[in-house]
Structure 1
């Protein structure tokens, strides 16, 4: 073999090695609208991932959130998508809004933070247990809104007919705040991450009470709706709350396409969890970015995430 040819082959090999060493994986994060938590969190995640020396160049894309993100992931137009658990479960199973899509090839990268359901009253109403709502004026949440959908699931599991067993109200969150302050309703159902500003606003002028759900009711609701899970709102989350409050929660997840490379999935979830403190500067919900909570699942996890969580002592489903 001629010397010049040998040199050319060596040079070509060096270029190939250099190219592989500096290969970059481009990652688009589907976040949400400008006014919500997803949008700034997506931007912070993109910045952290891009600087993490894991061969990733990430950008965040503003979307209409959960449903759009699930479809973007399935189409390969986003690599990470933020989504509510209820929507993710429907997309994975091809249910409800995703019936025409069919089952989408999605997996969980990590659970970000819970959105527990709140049953809120004041000390003036005398309501201290879930059964006490019978015959009372209760707001289920706004018509068609997520609050009311989840409330209806809970009432159905409890055998409570909202049209017969309670004086049903259908108030938006701001309306519910005013009604509870003024004593025009006895209790309200709300769904949001803690601490919820609506509860804090009421607590500024009234002594609020968070009513727990009975354990058997929680078991029934989560069995009937697998995208929900049992959750305890920690004591002292709200003024005057001296004990943990049992309820059910929807979750907020980072989802990915089912074919995500194992190493990429591992690097992504490891980086996001280990940089938790940087995300807390954007939203206090990032305090939940710990393996114990991040490994909560409602559909299977991607293989790389499963590997990371196993190293942290948590087994998760992958199939």
Structure 2
């Protein structure tokens, strides 16, 4: 005898528990289905990493620190679902301000040039009033930052000594260029009285001020090519000024955070020759309080995507993994960074 469709449908609603057959209504089946979905969602949520939010202090919008922080965050945020790290950047006045803010706990990481790292860690120079911050830790090195002196052609400035008696922008308090300019002025025995006028413009404003004949020159510690210097070169005739001489040599020989550097020619309109100068290196700095696991993942993400980072800004083209792994850092390595570099054989004596 054929089985009716109605009877077959009802048999499907029977469940065997032991030897008993229990009939489940539609409402009960729907409730069980919902419970299973909730349990599945709960398990997925418990398996996902707890979100951690990090902020990187950078610099002015037209400099290289801001895109450097942005590049790091873009790479780290690619893995936010798997790793739970959400990264963002904050525009700041630069190195000194970054390290002070990092010390106050208002940001999680900071990009800073080598001389300010040294002084912040040891409580010297502009950081004397704040005291040594022994909680600072190096994560990895970034780009080189030649100290760049840009003068208008009409100013007649051809050497660093020609800045005396001129209108010079020495940078904002808290900026890296202000720090290096102060060191050079001390080495030469100069004070602000040696200039016709001293200005404290931001990197957003100094190019326009140069071309508008408000200043004769500005100084800038920056990776090249830099947007604001291109802006100046496109707006008026400029000249890159070499920073050399006995005082500069003495400064380099007595401070290991300074290096001799060269700005390649043909990078800016009207400047075909290489320019010799002094310089520092930018690094990513963290507090030792930040989780070693988080720093490990951040370093791993960046180094495994270094090719992508090199394409994010012209100043990053020359980044090399071997130089980014600090071999003799001015500030001790963070445990998380040390773990990654040790695993990959990038620390001296551990390959």
So what's the TM-score if we normalise by structure 1? Answer: 0.69
Deviations 1:74-108 (A, max 9, x none): xxx94xx1231355434422455585575332221
2:101 to 68, 73, 79: 68
SS in 2 for 1:68: helix
Preserved contact between residue 84 and residue 250 of structure 1 (Cα < 8 Å): no
- For residues 245 and 208 of structure 2, the distance between their equivalents in structure 1, rounded to whole angstroms, comes to 30
- Kindly report which structure 2 residues correspond to 1:7-18, keeping only aligned pairs within 5 A, or say none: none
- Kindly report which structure 2 residues correspond to 1:1-319, keeping only aligned pairs within 5 A, or say none: 28-32=53-57, 36-37=66-67, 40-50=70-80, 56-62=83-89, 66=98, 67-72=100-105, 78=108, 81-85=109-113, 86-95=115-124, 96-97=126-127, 102-134=132-164, 136-142=165-171, 144=173, 146=175, 147-164=177-194, 166-172=195-201, 173=203, 176-183=206-213, 185-214=215-244, 216-222=246-252, 227-258=257-288, 268-280=298-310, 282-295=312-325, 297-302=329-334, 305=337, 315=348
SS in 2 for 1:278: helix
Shift of 1:174: 5.6
Deviations 1:185-222 (A, max 9, x none): 43322333322333222212433211111164444334
- For residues 189 and 149 of structure 2, the distance between their equivalents in structure 1, rounded to whole angstroms, comes to 17
Preserved contact between residue 106 and residue 258 of structure 1 (Cα < 8 Å): yes
Matching residue of 2:33: none
What runs of 5+ residues in structure 2 fail to find an aligned partner? 1-46, 93-97
- For residues 174 and 131 of structure 2, the distance between their equivalents in structure 1, rounded to whole angstroms, comes to 23
Shift of 1:234: 2.6
The structure with more radius of gyration: 2
Aligned residue pair count: 285
- For residues 46 and 199 of structure 1, the distance between their equivalents in structure 2, rounded to whole angstroms, comes to 30
Preserved contact between residue 112 and residue 253 of structure 1 (Cα < 8 Å): yes
So what's the TM-score if we normalise by structure 2? Answer: 0.63
Root-mean-square deviation (CA, aligned residues, Å) is 4.0
More displaced, 169-178 or 22-31? Answer: 22-31
More displaced, 303-312 or 211-220? Answer: 303-312
SS in 2 for 1:242: coil
Preserved contact between residue 140 and residue 148 of structure 1 (Cα < 8 Å): no
